[in-house]
Amino acid sequence: MALLELDQVHKHFGGLAAVNGVNVRADDGEILAIVGPNGAGKSTLLKLIVGLETPTRGAIRFAGQEITQAPPHRVRQMGIAMVQQTPRHFASMTALENVALGALFGRAGAHRQEEQALELAGEALSFVGLADRRHDLVGHLNLHEQRFLELARAIAGGPRLLALDEVMAGLNDTELEASIAIIRAIRDQFNMTIIWVEHVMKAVMSLAERVVVLDFGTILTEGLPAEVMRHPAVVKAYLGQEMNHA
């Protein structure tokens, strides 16, 4: 069953069609990757889903309800969480307090008492392997710890859909493996649906079940990772990166 459906979605910024008539569906429990060159409209697409942008045209449905015009807080309460490309932490708060915010402002019906939020936050931090950093200030965490913290904050709210924007950028090989394992575990243990924008192709190849390729705001091709990666336009766009990894 489709948990998320985008139907002919457009987003124009002045004369620029950042997203230009996109149809996407994500099934319950699926890991769907969105790839494409810089400026293709990937982040805009995620922002449209979570209500940070509003479509110029088209419709977005989640769990059978229309959310096309829904504001971010409403979308969060309905069960969609996002990790943004540029994380915004509260650097002067502890890791635990930061993650507790995700629990407090997450899905409706989630535990809203502060004590319960802190408990959920502790569980989420353990899940991403940051239990021993819970009382550290976020400003003291390194890049990969900050990304895992973002993941913890997103899952602490108990979402059904997790939108991830380039959460693997800048990680070394060990951190990348850890990150792949955490995202796979999030899906397997909580049956969350994951819509994941990523440039790191080897991560996409190992984790994604389906890939959508965006270019100039439209879908160039979509399918199984191995199929999509053989598409001539995709080979051309990613050849440099693949060679760098060889």
Ligand X SMILES: Nc1ncnc2c1ncn2[C@@H]1O[C@H](COP(=O)(O)OP(=O)(O)OP(=O)(O)O)[C@@H](O)[C@H]1O
H or E element that contains 117: helix 114-127
- The H helix count followed by the E strand count for the chain is 9, 10
Using CB under 6 A as the binding rule, whether residue 40 contacts ligand X is answered as yes
The site partner of 129 among ligand X, Mg ion, none (C-beta below 5 to 8 Å per kind) is: none
The site partner of 40 among Mg ion, ligand X, none (C-beta below 5 to 8 Å per kind) is: ligand X
Q: Which of 5, 21, 28, 39 binds ligand X (CB under 6 A)?
A: 39
Binding residues for ligand X restricted to 42-61, rule: CB under 6 A: 42-44
Contact 104, 186 (CB under 8 A): no
The site partner of 4 among Mg ion, ligand X, none (C-beta below 5 to 8 Å per kind) is: none
Number of Cβ within a 10 Å radius of residue 66:
12
Window 69-108: contact mask with Mg ion (x via CB under 5 A): ----------------x-----------------------
CA 187, distance to chain mean position in Å, is 12
Window 62-101: contact mask with ligand X (x via CB under 6 A): -----------------------x----------------
Per-residue HEC secondary structure of 146-168 comes to HHHHHHHHHHHCCCCEEEEECCC
Pick 65 or 86: Cβ nearer ligand X: 86
Q: Which of 38, 65, 92, 174 binds ligand X (CB under 6 A)?
A: 38
Token pair in block for residue 215: 């270019």
The site partner of 225 among Mg ion, ligand X, none (C-beta below 5 to 8 Å per kind) is: none
H or E element that contains 143: helix 143-156
CA 94, distance to chain mean position in Å, is 23
Q: Which of 84, 49, 89, 56 is nearest to 70 (CA)?
A: 49
CA 82, distance to chain mean position in Å, is 5
Using CB under 6 A as the binding rule, whether residue 13 contacts ligand X is answered as yes
Give the C-alpha separation, 110 to 233, whole Å: 44
Using CB under 6 A as the binding rule, whether residue 157 contacts ligand X is answered as no
Stretch binding Mg ion (CB under 5 A), from 37-45, 58-66, 89-97, 170-178: 37-45
Nearest approach, Cβ of residue 28 and Mg ion (Å): 26
Stretch binding Mg ion (CB under 5 A), from 36-44, 97-105, 122-130, 228-236: 36-44
Dihedral of the alpha carbons of 73, 194, 29, 145, in degrees to the nearest 10: -100
Q: Which of 183, 190, 157, 155 is nearest to 168 (CA)?
A: 183
The footprint of Mg ion on this chain (CB under 5 A) covers a number of residues equal to 3
Contacting positions for ligand X (CB under 6 A): 13, 16, 18, 36, 38-44, 85
Contacting positions for Mg ion (CB under 5 A): 42-43, 85
